[in-house]
Amino acid sequence: MTRPAWDWRLSDLSAVPQHGRTVFSCFSCGGGSTMGYKRAGYTVLGNVEIDPQMMRLYKKNHNPRFPFQMPIQEFKLLPASQLPKELFDLSILDGSPPCSVFSMSGQRDKKWGNEHKFREGQAVQRLDDLFFDFLDVAELLQPRVIVAENVTGMINGKARGYVSLVLSRLRSIGYRPQLFLLNSATMGVPQKRERLIFIAARNDLNFPLLKLEFNEPPVLYGDIQGGEGKPLKAGGVTYQRWHKRRPVDADMGDISLRHEGKQSSFNTRLMRRGKVANTLLSSSFYVRYDEPCRISDTDIIRLQTFPADYDFMDADVQYVCGMSVPPLMMQRIAEQIHEQWLSK
């Protein structure tokens, strides 16, 4: 019996037909994008990652030929003589610049242009600069295609001006950019994760416009649910709220507003077997609607379409998955880039 696409193993990659196209990944985290490219038949040569814990995970699970553990600001300044020649003949330069300053939660505008200490590498950085650091790398390496993933908050409000600057920068370094708003639930991923995908082809290649349309049937939470979740503390606030839930409630905030007169714990989501799960975030809490417990690590791994044999070592499973691109999402995008462009 054929397993569903979200139920897979790293060992399955050995059976994927290879077409020889190459990828280098920036801001690689645990390698969600990397696994997507590999599932689509690409060879991922290496990565740039600032976070030592994420780099240990990446090396353990992906065995890169050319790993660079350093800030991208340092990587882009390396002399060409210190870079592998293969990086100057890339099919795709991939990157997911850390994007928390563009999230729609909190007072995001006040974070722009300032240095803050973020979890990414435990370093003080200006995260709104990182996209342009990534494009500096693209200008240096001149890959055939550039792929960058980010949150949908970039096209809301004042952030739209930032997107215009990104698109202008891509054009100035010799690329024709396209911008896609994609929902992973249409791509076989068991969650409604909306993301912006920047895809740019080098001008001299004269590729036609890329078309991305995905209409795969939804995968419900009940389809992937498995394993035992951590029980809610009996008598605790969340436990009490859970017992007051109604079918219309999406999160604990709905319950607290109804019974306590104020919204609290809205980042504690209720997961229903008959619905597609909401976006898996690294810092939110997810509670099963039909039993008083948090979702299991098995649930998290399947929701993010990570492989069942991924070695998380000492890292938190939800953090790694929530910070990553779902491999199945990137696989679908990478397949179309190869089919419509690179295979020609």
User: Which of 343, 338, 337 lies closest to 178 in space, CA to CA?
Assistant: 337
Which class for 237: exposed (0-12), middle (13-18), buried (19 or more C-beta within 10 A)? middle
User: Which of 6, 11, 37, 29 lies closest to 305 in space, CA to CA?
Assistant: 6
Question: Could you give the CA distance from residue 36 to residue 133 in angstroms, rounded to a whole number?
Answer: 23
Return the C-alpha torsion angle 37, 120, 316, 305, nearest 10: -20
Q: Name the token pair of 293.
A: 């417990």
Q: What is the 3-state secondary structure (H, E, C) of 192-236?
A: ECEEEEEEEEEHHHCCCCCCCCCCCCCCCHHHHCCCCCCECCCCC
Question: Could you give the CA distance from residue 4 to residue 71 in angstroms, rounded to a whole number?
Answer: 37
State whether residue 177 is helix, strand or coil: strand
CA angle in degrees (0–180, nearest 5) for 202-207-213: 110
Question: Could you give the CA distance from residue 238 to residue 13 in angstroms, rounded to a whole number?
Answer: 41
Please say if 26 is a catalytic residue. no
Phi, psi for residue 180 in degrees, rounded to 5: -120, 135
Of 29, 99, 293, 321, which one is the catalytic site residue? 99
User: Which of 113, 100, 204 lies closest to 161 in space, CA to CA?
Assistant: 113
Return the C-alpha torsion angle 107, 111, 116, 119, nearest 10: 60
Query: Which single residue is written with the structure tokens 């001006």?
Result: 161
Just list the catalytic residues: 99
